[in-house]
Structure 1
């Protein structure tokens, strides 16, 4: 399935909307206990979007979850967790994949924090990490994802 940019999406109630105008850098599932608690699920699903290709078009998301250098953004009304701006990685936005209007193409390419995953939770991710990939591994992962991973 091919879905060309721009893509649109929003929170559950529709009061906060966004537009994506750049292809994803990477897709992932995070098994950390923080994501488990914030999603009330076994893991969170996200798409790394270049920062310049992501724009909030309606509403004003608020910071929730963690209130430190890494910021999690939510709809102030329905409290949907929409995206994250990771500390020290300003070049991308980590968008919750299910906030997209069409997430049917989504498959996690990497999974992180498998050291904290629930024993029964599995994903089709190509790469698994007990925590997160080493910073020097990202260049190779981005290239591998760009050259062959499922994406719109």
Structure 2
């Protein structure tokens, strides 16, 4: 656990919402889907899957925003930063927006998903790429490999 230098603190642009991560991420990802492109106003979104029991909002009350679908994207009600997502049917994880961490320069996406929708010039350092997403069982070996090889805070 020392290699992860936990806990990590993070928050939105205005500081109204603050959170703490106390468990290592299961996986770091870049998503190229058109939904993430629009939500992040970028070529892709950066996220890390954190165990739910290792994530807590320590200040403020985030609100649901974004696509209002089965995946609940949570935002700061004041500055409107997209901060994290509760994926539908996966209550054991929270997808935290990597750049919301106070210290995120160490972050490297290990997996990229929805590469079939990526902008032609968009590249990442991800070592695993998928046209859409692996099924849930397909994530197991990726999580195991990330635990050994994924980027760590410096």
Same fold (TM over 0.5): yes
Q: Which runs of 5+ in 1 are unaligned?
A: none
SS at match of 1:66: coil
Q: Which runs of 5+ in 2 are unaligned?
A: none
Establish whether residue 32 from structure 1 lines up as the match of residue 10 from structure 2.
no
Note if contact 2:4-2:24 (Cα within 8 Å) is conserved in structure 1: no
Shift of 1:63: 0.3
Note if contact 1:49-1:93 (Cα within 8 Å) is conserved in structure 2: yes
Match for residue 50 of structure 2? 49
Task: Write the distance in 1 (CA, Å) between the matches of 2:69 and 2:111.
Answer: 25
Match for residue 130 of structure 1? 131
Match for residue 8 of structure 2? 7
Superposition RMSD in Å = 0.9
Note if contact 2:21-2:56 (Cα within 8 Å) is conserved in structure 1: yes
Kindly report which structure 2 residues correspond to 1:2-151, keeping only aligned pairs within 5 A, or say none.
Answer: 3-151=4-152
- Structure 1 moving runs of 4+ over 2 Å: none
SS at match of 2:30: strand
Shift of 1:56: 0.3
SS at match of 1:138: helix
Shift of 1:3: 4.9
Q: TM-score scaled by structure 1? A: 0.97
Question: How many pairs does the alignment contain?
Answer: 151
Shift of 1:135: 1.5
Note if contact 1:13-1:78 (Cα within 8 Å) is conserved in structure 2: yes
Note if contact 1:24-1:151 (Cα within 8 Å) is conserved in structure 2: no
